[in-house]
Structure formats: C-alpha cells, structure tokens
Amino acid sequence: MTSIAANLSDTEIPGNRPASRGDLTAFLMETTEAVGADNYMLLAIQHDQDKSDAQIIASNWIYDAVQLTGQKVIACLAQSALITAPGGRPRSIVTAAAPDLEGLSGEKARLLDVLGHGEIYSLKLNVGRRCLFVLFSAACVGRIDPDALMTAQFHCCYALSRMPQLLASVATQDPLSERERECLFWVSEGKTTDEVAVILGVSSNTVNSYITQAIRKFSASNRAMAVATAIRSGII
C-alpha cells in the first residue's frame, strides 16, 4: 500500500492551467488508480425545500449504476455519517453489509455491490467557498488505500481550486427554482423585500425564504453576492 501513496504524490495535474473536462477527467482517473479504486464520482449537492439531489460533475460510473441507484441515494452516500473531512481518517461504506445509513436502503446497498461498488469512500472537498464531494469505490473490499485517500483529498482540493470557471459553469448551472430566480431578479433591480412580495403576490417572509435558499445554493454570504453570482452565470 505504501507504493500507492507514493504514486499519488507524483500525480500531476494535467496542463499548466487546467480548465477543461479532459483535464479534470485525466486527473480524476490518475487519482483513482493511485488510491487503488476502480471508480470515481465528483459531485455537488443541490438542496431545495423538498429534495437533496446529486449533481454529477464528473464520473466513470456506468450508466446503469447511476440510473438504478438514483441521484438521491448518491447524495445520501456523499453526505453519510461516514463522510471524511480533509485531514480525517477515511471510513468505508461496505455495501454488501447493507449499512444502516440514512437514505440508503438495504436493497439499494446490495444493488451497488452487484454493480461493482462493494466499498465506497466519501470525501468532502473544500474548494474556495464551494463544498464538493468525491466518491471513490472498488468492487473488492480492502482494495482502496485509506492513507493514499488522505493525500488524494488534499490533491483534489488543490486541483479543483485551479479550475474555478469550469466548476462554476457545471456545478452552479442554474440551480435556482423559478421563484428564487424571480426574487433575485427583482432584488437586482433595486426592489426591497416588501416590493418583491407585492410584485409576486406572496408574503415578505416567503420572499426572504426564497432569497435565503438562493444564497445557500450559491454559497454566498449575502443577497448582494448571490445576485452578483447569478448575473455572472447568466441566470438572471
């Protein structure tokens, strides 16, 4: 296992200024091989009042694994109690054991095992103000090196921080609901919360709720920053 960690330390980020999906895929494939995994999935979590879905940014999972498992289950895997923050000791999800994790049924867990994801590690990535997740999985339990994963986690944070435009275009591509978009638009036009409420025919509390959701989705610190992000992204 020591050789895997050593190989990871030599993993280079393709290109001088990586900014393409090809660069991202190459880096993730090299990292996956270095830690002893078979598969990777880089994702963002889109939250709403009644859902929590995974938005897949890059992955080599087969189509059936994604479709049969479902994005809500993938989101639960990414945010499970076994998630590892940078600097922590990675803990695996062994799917054949049908782990008792919120949002993951025994049937879905066994399905993942059959589809070649017998062991899954979920790593949290802090990339600027954005929080992303990466799943590394292998068909056989024990194949992935936890020590190499700890190094890989920091490598991923660093590599992704060098491609902010690519991540912004993929992970923040119009995540807003129609009402959230409308509220941000009218705020950008200089309207107050009460004025937006009158325009949309809802209460001021409802407007504030929509704006708060938009702020959280953009990982912004206030409504002005959320408006600026939405304008730069071409959403409003």
Nearest alpha carbon to residue 133 among 98, 106, 105, 93: 93
pLDDT per residue as tens, the chain (236 positions): 445 555 665 555 444 445 577 788 889 999 999 999 999 999 887 665 444 677 788 889 987 888 888 888 898 899 899 999 999 999 999 999 988 888 888 888 999 999 999 999 999 998 877 788 999 999 999 999 999 999 999 999 988 888 876 676 665 555 777 788 889 999 999 999 999 999 989 999 999 999 998 888 877 788 888 888 777 666 77
pLDDT at 29: 93
